[in-house]
Amino acid sequence: MSASLDHAPDWTIPQGWEHYTATEHRTWTTLYERQAALLPQRACNEFLAGLTALDFYSGGIPDFRRLSEKLMRLTGWQVVAVPGLVPEEIFFEHLANRRFPAGNFIRRAGQLDYLEEPDVFHDVFGHVPMLTNPVFADYMQAYGQGGLRAEKLGRLPNLARLYWYTVEFGLLNTEQGLRIYGAGIVSSRTETIFALEDLSPNRLGFNLKRVLRTPYRIDDFQQNYFVIESLQSLLDETVSTDFAPLYAELESLPEIAIAAIEPGDRVFTRGTQHYAATH
């Protein structure tokens, strides 16, 4: 049932690049072409620059060895293969050491738009371009360190919301309008459109304490997207804030209802929430 006996203590496995079938490589190429057509004008420039630098197109599913060489030269990060989701502490330990754990399997051809566990397309196409950006690369490492700390303090459920609303589903405010940097969005055709164009979700200015208090959905499109002003401001604020007193304060504050808009929120878009009401 599980491959748990076959992985190293840090849960890494060989990617097994030689074993991908032609069909699996074609699935990557199909997904790549769909997203590459959608993302100009929608993904942020930092993501698009990373995508270009990594040259994900030609050879099907990237070989992590070659990918890691490129990434190492750019920002000192590597990509390591894991069988799927790994225990939180293992995940944070990898990030804190500038290693991004990526699932080595790819979704089936009949499941292009929906999958329950992050596969190599989500993990590599979605996450790795941003890791070519020096500021975001530092943020991910700091998040890993923060994760190890939050775990000791018993506050992981709060910190996980920061990851969710930035790394996975974050939007960036630019002079050209809102742009995507979150991996969960850029790796999904349907959410790429929904996150930017649908009338249903709220789009709110990023506020650290607020985000730590906001639950999220793992099974469908988000009801809120949080907008940062720059990658640098996200890094600076999260690194310079000591989260321990923040976690302590959160204990006496109620959670924010998932789609609620609070008095202090900067509202980019007040969502109708019609999508959530029917799903």
Q: Which residues bind ligand PHE (CB under 6 A)?
A: 142-143, 146, 149, 162, 238-239, 241-243
Query: Based on the number of CB atoms within 10 Å of its own CB, is 137 exposed (0-12), middle (13-18) or buried (19 or more)?
Result: buried
CA separation for the pair 7, 171 (Å, rounded): 35
CA separation for the pair 226, 173 (Å, rounded): 10
How does strand 171-174 pair with strand 224-228? parallel
How does strand 267-269 pair with strand 171-174? unpaired
Residue 24 known to be catalytic: no
Nearer to ligand PHE by Cβ, of 141 and 200: the residue is: 141
Work out how close the CB of 138 gets to ligand PHE at its nearest, in angstroms, rounded to a whole number. Answer: 9
Work out how close the CB of 242 gets to ligand PHE at its nearest, in angstroms, rounded to a whole number. Answer: 5
Exactly one of 24, 68, 122, 191 is catalytic; name it: 122
Residues between 66 and 125 that touch Fe ion (CB under 5 A): 118
For the chain, helix (H) and strand (E) counts, in that order, are: 14, 7
Angle at 175 between CA 172 and CA 177, to 5 degrees: 55
Residue 233 known to be catalytic: no
CA separation for the pair 74, 54 (Å, rounded): 10
Partner whose binding site includes residue 238, from ligand PHE, Fe ion, none (CB under 5 to 8 Å by kind): ligand PHE
Exactly one of 93, 94, 187, 191 is catalytic; name it: 187
Partner whose binding site includes residue 142, from ligand PHE, Fe ion, none (CB under 5 to 8 Å by kind): ligand PHE
| Residues 183-202, mask of contacts with Fe ion (x by CB under 5 A) | x-------------------
CA separation for the pair 236, 273 (Å, rounded): 32
Residue 122 known to be catalytic: yes
Nearer to ligand PHE by Cβ, of 159 and 186: the residue is: 159
Instruction: Give the phi and the psi of residue 174 in degrees, each rounded to 5.
Output: -130, 170
Residue 2 known to be catalytic: no
Work out how close the CB of 143 gets to ligand PHE at its nearest, in angstroms, rounded to a whole number. Answer: 4
Q: How many CB atoms lie within 10 A of CB 247?
A: 17
Work out how close the CB of 18 gets to Fe ion at its nearest, in angstroms, rounded to a whole number. Answer: 25
Work out how close the CB of 234 gets to ligand PHE at its nearest, in angstroms, rounded to a whole number. Answer: 8
Cβ–Cβ < 8 Å for 131, 50: yes
Nearer to ligand PHE by Cβ, of 32 and 100: the residue is: 100
Exactly one of 24, 93, 127, 191 is catalytic; name it: 127
Q: Which two tokens stand for residue 215?
A: 């639950």
Partner whose binding site includes residue 251, from ligand PHE, Fe ion, none (CB under 5 to 8 Å by kind): none
Which segment (14-22, 102-110, 179-187, 223-231) binds Fe ion by CB under 5 A?
A: 179-187
Nearer to ligand PHE by Cβ, of 207 and 238: the residue is: 238
The string of DSSP letters for 74-120 reads: HHS-EEEEESSS--HHHHHHHHHTTEEEEE-----GGGSS--SS--H
Work out how close the CB of 176 gets to Fe ion at its nearest, in angstroms, rounded to a whole number. Answer: 25
Contacting residues toward Fe ion, per CB under 5 A: 118, 183
Residues carrying an active site annotation: 122, 127, 168, 187
